[in-house]
């Protein structure tokens, strides 16, 4: 299949949105930018189309998809027993990087969207291209991140093309996404509401709006209970070579690199700007130190870039876990399966 990559220009984009919307209406797949990562979209009411998402990604069928909507009102159309907290969250954080897990209205979505659960994740994204596509099509759009399952999520159209080229007909290219890591997933069906996947909207931001919030992502990750966001149990976000975390300290990194080189290893370093002189074979500057939001924007591009090298080990610098830093550390810990390099 030929994959058309259509660059958004800010003008005449309506034509591109209608082309993309036509494909969705006919049951095809369209990749589109959001403010977090690129999504791989299908009409959420069309089972064939949704099945094609799972095939294109190689995604396990027990991992449900997020449904993207163009207006907050649609919560009422697609969910039942909607708690007040959902409307409060929508008011405070939509459009934006927050997915709300609510009870799905039976019989609306294709069964594969919810992977057999009676709940659904709804999100109204803020990226103008995502909103343009949602409003032009008028459809609820099921969209996981547009990567091959197990790879870091795509934050640029090139990443989507690398994973999905030849498998999908259309990519809307809106340049690099801003936030760079996936939305916060908040389960509003539990009491208190629980963060199943940390993201740019943090517990500290949610509490003033809806009161107590629990952070169960760590418990889900530890594998001690059935994961509540099924996606959290799979290895994610990893380049091909094993990742080890390391503190963003020049001496520690230099020593680690020296030791690894003695063992004949080829090293890729993912660290903030200013860590160029450590002797690593490849260095991918990733944001600025003490500015986790800048790291979040570039992290996945750097992890993907490691796959373009012959490195057999990736050293990735940790970030302070305040604010979005907590979500960045969640992804880094997954990429590294918790391994920390100590010299």
Q: What is the distance between the alpha carbons of residues 21 and 60, in angstroms, rounded to a whole number?
A: 26
Min separation Cβ 67 and ligand TXA, Å: 8
| Overall size of the chain counted in residues | 343
Separation of CA 42 from chain center: 17
Q: What is the distance between the alpha carbons of residues 33 and 132, in angstroms, rounded to a whole number?
A: 11
State yes or no: residue 287 binds ligand TXA (CB under 6 A): no
Among 183, 278, 286, 333, binds ligand TXA (CB under 6 A): 183
Q: Which residues bind Mg ion (CB under 5 A)?
A: 145
Q: What is the distance between the alpha carbons of residues 95 and 161, in angstroms, rounded to a whole number?
A: 26
Nearer to Mg ion, 36 or 119 (CB): 36
Separation of CA 50 from chain center: 18
What count of Cα atoms within 13 Å lies in the side-chain half-sphere of residue 152?
31
Query: Tokens at residue 340, please?
Result: 């920390």
Among 6, 46, 136, 145, binds ligand TXA (CB under 6 A): 145
State yes or no: residue 117 binds ligand TXA (CB under 6 A): yes
State yes or no: residue 99 binds ligand TXA (CB under 6 A): yes
Q: According to the annotation, is 143 in a ligand binding site?
A: yes
State yes or no: residue 219 binds ligand TXA (CB under 6 A): no
Q: What is the distance between the alpha carbons of residues 19 and 185, in angstroms, rounded to a whole number?
A: 30
CA distances to 7, 198, 309, 323 from 101, rounded to whole Å, are 32, 14, 39, 22
State yes or no: residue 20 binds ligand TXA (CB under 6 A): no
Q: According to the annotation, is 77 in a ligand binding site?
A: no
Nearer to ligand TXA, 167 or 265 (CB): 167
Mark the binding-site residues, compressed into ranges: 36, 59, 63, 68, 119, 123, 143, 145, 153, 183, 197, 237
Q: Which residues bind to ligand TXA, rule: CB under 6 A? A: 34, 36-37, 39, 63-66, 97, 99, 101, 114, 117, 119-121, 123, 125, 143-145, 182-183, 185, 196-197, 228-232
């Amino acid at each position: 299949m030929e994959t058309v990559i259509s660059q958004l220009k800010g003008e005449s984009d309506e034509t591109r949105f209608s082309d993309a919307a036509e494909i969705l209406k006919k049951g095809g797949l369209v990749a589109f930018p959001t403010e977090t990562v690129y999504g791989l979209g299908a009409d959420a009411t069309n089972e064939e189309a949704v099945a094609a998402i799972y095939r294109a990604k190689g995604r396990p069928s027990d991992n449900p998809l997020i449904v993207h909507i163009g207006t907050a009102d649609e919560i009422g159309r697609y969910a039942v027993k909607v708690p007040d907290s959902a409307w409060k969250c929508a008011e405070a954080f939509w459009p934006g990087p927050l997915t709300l897990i609510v009870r799905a209205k039976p019989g609306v979505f294709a069964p594969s969207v919810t992977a057999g659960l009676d709940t659904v994740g709804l999100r109204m994204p803020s990226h103008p291209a995502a909103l343009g596509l949602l409003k032009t099509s008028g459809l609820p759009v099921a969209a996981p991140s547009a990567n091959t399952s197990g790879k870091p999520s795509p934050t640029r159209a090139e990443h989507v093309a690398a994973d999905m080229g030849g498998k999908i007909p259309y990519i809307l290219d809106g340049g690099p996404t801003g936030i760079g890591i996936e939305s916060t997933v908040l389960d509003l069906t539990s009491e208190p509401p629980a963060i199943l996947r940390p993201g740019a909207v943090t517990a500290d931001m949610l509490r003033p709006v809806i009161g107590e919030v629990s952070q169960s992502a760590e418990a889900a990750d530890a594998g001690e209970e059935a994961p509540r966001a099924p996606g959290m149990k799979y290895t994610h976000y990893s380049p091909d070579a094993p990742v080890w975390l390391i503190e963003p300290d020049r001496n520690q990194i230099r020593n680690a690199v020296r030791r690894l080189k003695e063992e004949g290893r080829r090293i890729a370093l993912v660290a903030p700007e200013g860590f160029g002189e450590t002797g690593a074979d490849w260095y991918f500057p990733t944001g600025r130190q003490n500015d986790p939001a800048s790291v979040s924007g570039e992290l996945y591009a750097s992890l993907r870039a490691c796959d373009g090298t012959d490195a057999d080990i990736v050293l990735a610098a940790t970030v302070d876990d305040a604010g979005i830093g907590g979500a960045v550390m969640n992804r880094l810990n997954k990429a590294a399966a918790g391994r920390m390099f100590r010299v």
